[in-house]
């Protein structure tokens, strides 16, 4: 009898307890089951690209929530902001963009202006390289590809965050100093690692003109068939004459491999590779870092993986 009672009591216990736990979890949490979507209490910084968001996180630490408009793999040149982006801009305390016209049609500045929020341009103070498309000269927006320019980005972001909250200036500057040391280490590692590629073989053929700063910094010749912007369709910026000249230069320079990019459709580069009789050396991270969990999910990771892909294909 007693044993039976105990059995029943323990049955009831195992039925009731989960219900009690659920009750307290749900009703004692003001956000109920929506807690996983709860917004952080911290002031939010809204960044345009994945690289800018990574730089900002490295300086902000846990003092700010850092959000990014672009998802990994998205193309900043052609992006059209959504109502959700506008809401995030309204929730933010500050916006940060790359600038140099990377954010096509100024979409990040427009989001910040419409929301009435201050905006920092991370590339301010970079000495821009010049690009020429259809006889028109523009500044090359892909400045982050030089770690020395990335250091300028970090200094601008740090100054902006310090203005937002001067009471944590010391900690923001301390994080920035550590990250700047990592950028210097990255720069010297890249130079050492490229030693195995003879200077005559340092030719980088990629989808679009993202790698000029990288090429200039590390002694590569760079050729990109579609020009500086990716356009709204595959191969926008490509002409038959340009296609022919790229194929001919690949053949005459004895290029071993060409590269596709993670933010640009690879179709055109595959056609060029086939026509020129060379292999695709791999996919490079260009205007976007990699997805969460990939080797290229940070700026340092994407630069490291790009260098390894390039060396493996061209050495
Ligand atoms: Zn680009």
66/60 Cα distance (integer angstroms): 8
Cβ atoms of residues 263 and 234 within 8 Å:
no
Counting runs of H as helices and runs of E as strands, what totals does the chain give? 10, 10
Ligand 1 mean position to 92 CA, how many Å?
26
pLDDT of residue 28: 38
Is this structure's pTM higher than 0.75?
A: yes
pLDDT of residue 237: 62
| Exposed/middle/buried for residue 151 (C-beta within 10 Å: 0-12, 13-18, 19+) | middle
Residue of 167 and 240 predicted with greater confidence: 167
Helix axes 169-193, 50-60, angle to 10 degrees: 130
pLDDT of residue 241: 81
Ligand 1 mean position to 158 CA, how many Å?
25
Predicted confidence (pLDDT) per residue in 111-128, tens digit: 999 999 999 999 999 999
Least confident of 28-42, 188-202, 225-239: 28-42
Domain ranges across the chain: 44-187, 197-314
Query: Mean of the pLDDT values across residues 138-151?
Result: 96
Instruction: Tell me how crowded residue 4 is: count the other CB atoms within 10 A of its CB.
Output: 8
pLDDT of residue 115: 98
Predicted confidence (pLDDT) per residue in 167-202, tens digit: 999 999 999 999 999 999 999 999 999 999 998 899
Domain 197-314 in the same topology as domain 44-187: yes
Ligand 1 mean position to 208 CA, how many Å?
7
pLDDT over threshold 60, residue 53: yes
Taking CA atoms, 312 is separated from 185, 205, 282, in Å, by 21, 15, 9
pLDDT over threshold 60, residue 7: no
Ligand 1 mean position to 62 CA, how many Å?
30
Superfamily of domain 197-314: Nitrogenase molybdenum iron protein domain (3.40.50.1980)
Ligand 1 mean position to 288 CA, how many Å?
9
* All residues with CB under 5 Å from ion ligand 1: 210, 287
Least confident of 98-107, 128-137, 211-220: 128-137
Ligand 1 mean position to 123 CA, how many Å?
14
Half-sphere exposure of 11 (CA within 13 A, CB side): 6
**Could you tell me how many residues make up the chain?**
315
pLDDT of residue 242: 78
**CATH code for the structural domain at 44-187:** 3.40.50.1980
Residue of 168 and 262 predicted with greater confidence: 168
Ligand 1 mean position to 233 CA, how many Å?
14
Instruction: Tell me how crowded residue 33 is: count the other CB atoms within 10 A of its CB.
Output: 10
């Amino acid at each position: 009898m007693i044993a039976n009672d105990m059995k029943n009591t323990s049955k009831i216990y195992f039925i009731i307890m989960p219900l009690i736990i659920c009750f307290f979890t749900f009703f004692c949490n003001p956000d109920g089951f929506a807690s996983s979507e709860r917004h952080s209490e911290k002031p939010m910084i809204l960044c345009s690209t994945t690289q800018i968001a990574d730089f900002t996180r490295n300086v902000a630490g846990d003092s700010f929530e850092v959000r990014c408009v672009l998802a990994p793999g998205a193309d900043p040149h052609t992006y059209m902001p959504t109502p959700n982006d506008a809401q995030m801009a309204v929730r933010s305390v500050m916006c940060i963009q790359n600038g140099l016209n990377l954010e096509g049609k100024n979409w990040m500045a427009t989001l910040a202006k419409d929301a009435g929020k201050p905006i920092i341009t991370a590339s301010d103070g970079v000495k821009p390289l010049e690009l020429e498309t259809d006889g028109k000269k523009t500044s090359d927006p892909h400045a982050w590809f030089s770690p020395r320019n990335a250091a300028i980005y970090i200094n601008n972001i740090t100054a902006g965050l310090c203005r937002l909250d001067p009471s944590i200036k010391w900690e923001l500057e301390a994080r920035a100093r550590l990250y700047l040391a990592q950028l210097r280490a990255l720069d010297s590692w890249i130079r050492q690692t490229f030693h195995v590629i003879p200077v005559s073989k340092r030719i980088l053929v990629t989808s679009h003109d993202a790698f000029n700063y990288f090429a200039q910094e590390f002694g590569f010749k760079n050729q990109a068939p579609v020009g500086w912007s990716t356009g709204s369709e595959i191969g926008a910026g490509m002409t038959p004459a340009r296609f022919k000249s790229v194929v001919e230069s690949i053949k005459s320079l004895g290029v071993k491999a060409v590269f596709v990019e993670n933010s640009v459709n690879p179709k055109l580069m595959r056609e060029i590779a086939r026509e020129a009789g060379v292999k695709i050396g791999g996919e490079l991270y260009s205007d976007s870092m990699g997805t969460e969990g990939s080797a290229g999910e940070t700026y340092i990771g994407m630069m490291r993986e790009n260098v390894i892909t390039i060396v493996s294909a061209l050495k």
